[in-house]
């Protein structure tokens, strides 16, 4: 595992913190009945298995960057900053607008960021936002700069409508935060980990250099997102609770001191088990899966923004962000609000 952090004495004078949050969910609501019919399951079955009732779907002319730009503007407004104030833009996504250029460069241009603003993408699938947050936080240390960190995915474009293991779970959306010199809070600690031996649990087999697009790969459906649901549940159960406890202990705290837990919204039933294992009941675990489903790398920042705008976060609160998914990968971040 990679753990990032610096001496607490230094942090008091040079901490980087979340200064604003934003999110965007497309207007088009997709119900369980709509995704269930082609997948051969009922809406009631989907809710019983996942806790999800609805999810959002991007319009045909909306790409990942379009969602990201709207979320970024909301985060900038929340932080009281302009695009010209930003020195770094990091977009976490596994559904970029195109293989090249980076979606972050499209976002920077659409926002009107200053020429020369550094912009790049991070792909750690559903852990991507925490990986991007960690990267941006480290880059900003020792500077007076500000960063936009965005998680955005349009999974509806890579789902097989007939695959009930995936199509019932995912929605489209984007979430963003602005990082900068602390106004009171801080990114107190982060930890990143990957488990490449388990990489085949979640994948899109074709479209890269190993299996370039061809008539065969399209005909065989190899460009669709695939997931071994049971294997993913086992991975989370076996790895995440212990990693969270160890991370918090190393940061000098424990689950009982957390005000809020903001996990990746993978599956409602999975989150119920994870929260119970960590002793974090519904009052402290923030969720959005029921109405938005699993929005990939966007789920953590969307859920954080929803909690912030609902007045659920108070100055001084300790907040744990936890992302986990394809790679397999896991990212943890401890925020002081």
Percentage of the chain beyond pLDDT 90 is 94
Mean pLDDT of 48-72: 97
Mean pLDDT of 19-33: 98
Q: What is the pLDDT of residues 294-332, one digit of tens each?
A: 999 999 999 999 999 999 999 999 999 999 999 999 999
Q: What is the pLDDT of residues 190-238, one digit of tens each?
A: 999 999 999 999 999 999 999 999 999 999 999 999 999 999 999 999 9
> Has 105 been annotated as catalytic?
no
Q: What is the pLDDT of residue 3?
A: 55
> Has 126 been annotated as catalytic?
yes
Q: What is the pLDDT of residue 7?
A: 40
Q: CB under 8 Å to 67, separation ≥6 — which residues?
A: 24, 26, 58, 152, 154, 172, 173, 174, 298
* Boundaries of domain holding 279: 1-337
Kindly name the residue from 32, 123, 267, 294 that is annotated as catalytic: 294
Instruction: Give the span between the Cα atoms of 93 and 103, in whole angstroms.
Output: 8
- Distance between start and end Cα atoms, the chain: 25
Counting the structural domains of the chain, the total is: 1
CATH number at residue 303: 3.40.47.10
Mean pLDDT of 259-280: 95
8 A C-beta contact, residue 95 and residue 35: no
8 A C-beta contact, residue 71 and residue 174: yes
Instruction: Give the span between the Cα atoms of 280 and 322, in whole angstroms.
Output: 13
Closest listed residue to residue 6, CA positions, set 140, 180, 183: 140
Q: What is the pLDDT of residue 2?
A: 52
DSSP string covering 255-318, please? GGG-SEEEE--S-HHHHHHHHHHHT--TTTB---HHHH-B-GGGHHHHHHHHHHHTT---TT-E
Mean pLDDT over the full length of the chain? 95
Place of tokens 């299996």: 211
Instruction: Give the span between the Cα atoms of 222 and 203, in whole angstroms.
Output: 10
Q: What is the pLDDT of residue 257?
A: 96
Kindly name the residue from 32, 123, 146, 264 that is annotated as catalytic: 264
Instruction: Give the span between the Cα atoms of 92 and 130, in whole angstroms.
Output: 9
8 A C-beta contact, residue 103 and residue 69: no
Q: CB under 8 Å to 165, separation ≥6 — which residues?
A: 226, 227, 229
pTM for the complete prediction? 0.95
Kindly name the residue from 126, 146, 267, 286 that is annotated as catalytic: 126
Percentage of the chain beyond pLDDT 70 is 96
> Has 294 been annotated as catalytic?
yes
Instruction: Give the span between the Cα atoms of 235 and 219, in whole angstroms.
Output: 31
8 A C-beta contact, residue 181 and residue 108: no
DSSP string covering 69-126, please? HHHHHHHHHHHT--GGG-SEEEEE-SS-SSSSS-HHHHHHHHHTPPTT-EEEEE--GG
């Amino acid at each position: 595992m990679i753990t990032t952090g610096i001496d607490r004495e230094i942090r008091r004078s040079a901490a980087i913190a979340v200064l604003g949050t934003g999110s965007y969910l497309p207007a088009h609501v997709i119900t369980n009945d709509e995704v269930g019919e082609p997948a051969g399951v009922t809406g009631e079955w989907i809710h019983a298995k996942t806790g999800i009732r609805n999810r959002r779907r991007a319009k045909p002319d909306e790409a990942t960057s379009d969602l990201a730009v709207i979320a970024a503007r909301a985060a900038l407004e929340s932080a009281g900053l302009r695009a010209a104030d930003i020195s770094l833009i990091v977009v976490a996504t596994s559904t970029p607008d195109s293989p090249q250029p980076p979606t972050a460069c499209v976002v920077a241009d659409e926002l009107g960021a200053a020429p020369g603003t550094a912009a790049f993408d991070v792909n750690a699938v559903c852990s991507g936002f925490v990986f991007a947050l960690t990267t941006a936080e480290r880059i900003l240390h020792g500077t007076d700069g500000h960063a936009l960190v965005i998680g955005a995915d349009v999974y509806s474009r890579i789902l097989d409508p007939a695959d009930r293991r995936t199509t019932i779970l995912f929605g489209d959306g984007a979430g963003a935060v602005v990082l900068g010199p602390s106004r009171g809070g801080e990114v107190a600690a982060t930890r990143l980990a990957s488990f490449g031996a388990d990489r085949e649990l979640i994948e899109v087999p074709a479209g890269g250099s190993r299996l370039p697009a061809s008539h065969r790969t399209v005909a065989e459906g190899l460009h669709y997102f695939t997931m071994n649901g049971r294997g993913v549940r086992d991975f989370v159960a076996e790895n995440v609770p212990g990693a969270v406890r160890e991370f918090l202990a190393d940061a000098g705290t424990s689950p009982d001191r957390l005000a809020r837990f903001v996990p990746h919204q993978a599956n409602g039933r999975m989150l119920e088990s994870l929260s119970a294992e960590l002793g974090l009941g519904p009052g402290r675990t923030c969720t959005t899966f029921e109405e938005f489903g699993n929005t990939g790398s966007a789920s953590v920042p969307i859920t954080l923004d929803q909690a912030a705008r609902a007045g659920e976060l108070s100055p001084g609160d300790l907040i744990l962000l936890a992302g986990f998914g394809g790679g397999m990968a896991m990212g943890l971040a401890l925020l002081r609000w």
